[in-house]
Amino acid sequence: MNGFVKARAPWSRPYGAADISIDLGTANTLVYIRGRGIVLNEPSVVAVREVAGGKQEVVAVGLEAKALVGKTPHSITTVRPIKEGVIADYDLAKEMLEHFIRRSRRPWQFGKPSIVVTLPHGVTEIEKRAVEEAGYSIGAKKIVLIKEPIAAAIGANLPVLEPVGSMLVDIGGGTTEVAILSLAGIVCCHSIRVGGDVMDEKIIEMVKRKHRLYIGEQTAEKIKIALGTAWSDGDTQRARVKGRDSVTGLPKIVEITAEEIAEAISTPLRAIVNAIKTALATTPPALAGDIVERGIIITGGGALIRNMDTRLQRETGLPIIIDKSALLSVALGGGKAIEDPELLEAISNG
Ligand SMILES: Nc1ncnc2c1ncn2[C@@H]1O[C@H](COP(=O)(O)OP(=O)(O)OP(=O)(O)O)[C@@H](O)[C@H]1O
Ligand SMILES: [Mg+2]
């Protein structure tokens, strides 16, 4: 995987260093191991089976569990334990973390690791504590929390330690965070609980309403990625979509147009545009000049929606830069921080 940042001999563990950095995302979890880079990138999904006494047994985690979404017998359900960037199901989040860390470490690495976890800017103390407790309960020696917008900015190579204003928009599965950063800190951050998941829900609703067809989350996500656009450019692309007729219950195939998808995702896209405009309106004047000059950096999976740059450029009049590692930026930034204890120290207090 091309997520490697800076090699340090794995045995030279600098004072204050962390061993593992985890981007615990609503849609995807990424694990970066110091000295090795990003070693795991899998959907944040767990498949569970109900067993005697009302207990749950985990049957699959990550990619394997996502492949089961919507296809399981009644006794098995798939759960996404992270919602809107924070732990929603404590026990399953803990099991998922434990499983991912176990798979990421080499067999001889059995000491207790120090773990950096990246979290959205607006999390509450309770939400932070849940992550810390989950980390300690799976055997971490130390948990360090860093804010996702800072990690993403470092991952996107922005000059976060300098007295220069940068604006970063991270459009994830569950949240969109719009942050203005300078001098290793977040000057202001506007966070909304809207991201790629809401777009998928809107597509499911539209297909049901207009075509009387039930489709699953995964199908909706696939059509969003194939046909979704943030700025319609007369695209006449179409896709054949399989689902179940909402009236007869029989399997059916319908054709969906790019225009229909653009219409379905227009409300969440508008909310994202408005969040960016609100953040711009509250930017301190001294930093606004830097942003006008340097533009806005867009990251997270939602940055990859076709024509996102055109849409945001037209709406804000500012240069828009789509991060070239949009799906990796938070993990890469967390990784750079664990490779560099001084950087970690500077941002974990920010
Ligand atoms: N090429 C693409 N076009 C459109 N959307 C995409 C594309 N690739 C991924 N996505 C969407 O991006 C979202 C996942 O992005 P990301 O991995 O950044 O989220 P996350 O970090 O898990 O979530 P959060 O940061 O909200 O906790 C999903 O909704 C996915 O459908
Ligand atoms: Mg994210």
Record the tokens describing residue 15, joined without a space. Answer: 């004072």
Q: What is the largest CA-CA distance in the chain?
A: 65
CATH of region 161-194+267-322, choose from 3.30.420.40, 3.40.640.10, 3.50.50.60, 3.40.50.2300: 3.30.420.40
Rounded Cα distance between 159 and 156, Å, is: 9
**What does each C-alpha distance from 43 to 62, 68, 171, 306, 310 come to in angstroms?**
5, 12, 16, 22, 29
- What CATH number should be reported for the domain whose range is 20-44+80-151+329-348? 3.30.420.40
Asked whether the CA dihedral 36, 3, 47, 124 is positive or negative, the reply is: positive
Q: Whose CA is nearest to atom 10 of ligand 1?
A: 301
Residues 6+ apart with CB under 8 A from 234: none
- What CATH number should be reported for the domain whose range is 197-264? 3.90.640.10
Q: Whose CA is nearest to atom 12 of ligand 1?
A: 301
| Closest-approaching ligand to the CA atom of 225 | 1
Record the tokens describing residue 52, joined without a space. Answer: 């005697």
Inter-residue contact 243 to 215 (CB < 8 Å): yes
Q: Which residues line ligand 1 (CB under 6 A)?
A: 25-28, 85, 172-175, 195-197, 221, 224-225, 228, 300-302, 304-305, 327
Burial of 8 (0-12, 13-18, 19+ CB in 10 A): middle
Ligand 1, atom nearest to 197 Cα? 29
Q: How many residues does the chain have?
A: 350
Domain ranges of the chain: 20-44+80-151+329-348, 161-194+267-322, 197-264
Rounded Cα distance between 98 and 104, Å, is: 10
Q: Which of 200, 305, 329 to mutate to test the pocket of ligand 1 (most atoms within 8 A of CB)?
A: 305
CA angle at residue 177 from 87 to 81, to 5 degrees?
15
Nearest to 263 by CA among 205, 192, 177, 195: 205
Rounded Cα distance between 339 and 153, Å, is: 16
Rounded Cα distance between 328 and 155, Å, is: 8
CB atoms within 10 A of CB 17: 17
Report DSSP state, residue 113.
P
20-44+80-151+329-348 against 161-194+267-322: fold identical: yes
Q: Whose CA is nearest to atom 25 of ligand 1?
A: 172
Give CA torsion, residues 205, 206, 209, 210, to 10 deg: -160
**CA-based end-to-end distance of the chain:** 30
CA of 10 relative to ligand 1 center, distance in Å: 31
pLDDT digits 0-9 by tens, 240-277: 999 999 999 999 999 999 999 999 999 999 999 999 99
Rounded Cα distance between 59 and 67, Å, is: 12
**Phi, psi (degrees; rounded to nearest 5) at 139:** 100, 15
Q: Which of 69, 100, 193, 327 to mutate to test the pocket of ligand 1 (most atoms within 8 A of CB)?
A: 327
Q: Whose CA is nearest to atom 24 of ligand 1?
A: 172
| Closest-approaching ligand to the CA atom of 85 | 1
Local confidence pLDDT in tens for the 350 residues of the chain? 445 444 444 444 544 567 999 999 999 999 999 999 999 999 999 999 988 888 889 999 999 999 988 777 778 899 999 998 999 999 999 999 999 999 998 766 668 899 999 999 989 999 999 999 999 999 999 999 999 999 999 999 999 999 999 999 999 999 999 999 999 899 999 999 999 999 999 999 999 999 999 999 999 999 999 999 999 888 789 999 999 999 999 999 999 999 999 999 999 999 999 999 999 999 999 999 999 999 999 999 999 999 999 999 999 999 999 999 999 999 999 999 999 999 999 998 64
Rounded Cα distance between 113 and 139, Å, is: 8
CA of 171 relative to ligand 1 center, distance in Å: 7
Query: What is the β-pairing status of strands 37-43 and 28-33?
Result: antiparallel
Inter-residue contact 291 to 167 (CB < 8 Å): yes
Q: Determine the pLDDT at residue 236.
A: 86
